[in-house]
Structure 1
Amino acid sequence: MRLLLTVFIILLLTTPPSWAEACYTKQEAEAEQGIRIHSELMVIGLNCQHMATANGKNLYDEHRRFTQKHADLFATYEKIIMLYLKKNGDKNPEATLNKMRTDFANKISNDAAEMRPDIFCRSYAPRIEKAAKMDRETLRRWAATIFPSHPVSHPICKDS
Structure 2
Amino acid sequence: MKSATSDKASLPTVRKLRRIAAAVTTACVLATSTSAWAKPACYSAAEYDAEQAVRLHTELMVIGLTCNAIEADRKLFSKYQQFTTKNRTSLMNWEKVLIGHFRETDKSNPTRRFDDFRTVVANEIAQRSALLTPPVFCQTHSDIVDRALALSESDLKRYLADSRTDEIGKAPPCGVTVAELLDSDLPLTATKASTKPSVQGKGNDAKKAKPAKDAAAAKGGSAKPAKTIVTAAKVD
Q: Is residue 63–residue 138 contact of structure 2 (8 Å, CA) maintained in 1?
A: yes
Identity among equivalent positions (%) equals: 29
Are 2:42 and 1:23 equivalent residues in the alignment? yes
For structure 1, the residue ranges without an aligned partner over 5 or more in a row are 1-17
* Cα distance between partner residues in 1 of 2:122 and 2:115: 11
Among 80, 91, 94, the alignment partner of 1:74 is 91
Q: Is residue 37–residue 143 contact of structure 1 (8 Å, CA) maintained in 2?
A: no
CA offsets 1:63-94 (integer angstroms, 9 cap, x no match): 00100000111100011011111122331011
For structure 2, the residue ranges without an aligned partner over 5 or more in a row are 1-38, 177-236
* Counterpart position of 1:99: 116
* Counterpart position of 2:55: 36
CA offsets 1:120-160 (integer angstroms, 9 cap, x no match): 11100000010111111111122221354x3011121139x
TM-score, structure 1 as length reference: 0.79
* Counterpart position of 1:65: 82
CA offsets 1:94-135 (integer angstroms, 9 cap, x no match): 100001111111111001111222211110000001011111
Q: Where does 1:41-56 land on structure 2 (aligned, <5 Å)?
A: 41-52=60-71
Moved over 4 A (4+): none
Q: Is residue 68–residue 74 contact of structure 2 (8 Å, CA) maintained in 1?
A: no
Alpha carbon RMSD of aligned pairs, Å? 1.8
Q: Is residue 24–residue 155 contact of structure 1 (8 Å, CA) maintained in 2?
A: yes
Are 2:164 and 1:146 equivalent residues in the alignment? yes
TM-score, structure 2 as length reference: 0.55
Question: Which residue identity does 2:51 align to in structure 1?
Answer: E
User: RCO greater where, 1 or 2, for CA within 8 Å and sep 6 or more?
Assistant: 1
* Cα distance between partner residues in 2 of 1:106 and 1:40: 10
Aligned residues: 137
* Counterpart position of 2:105: 88
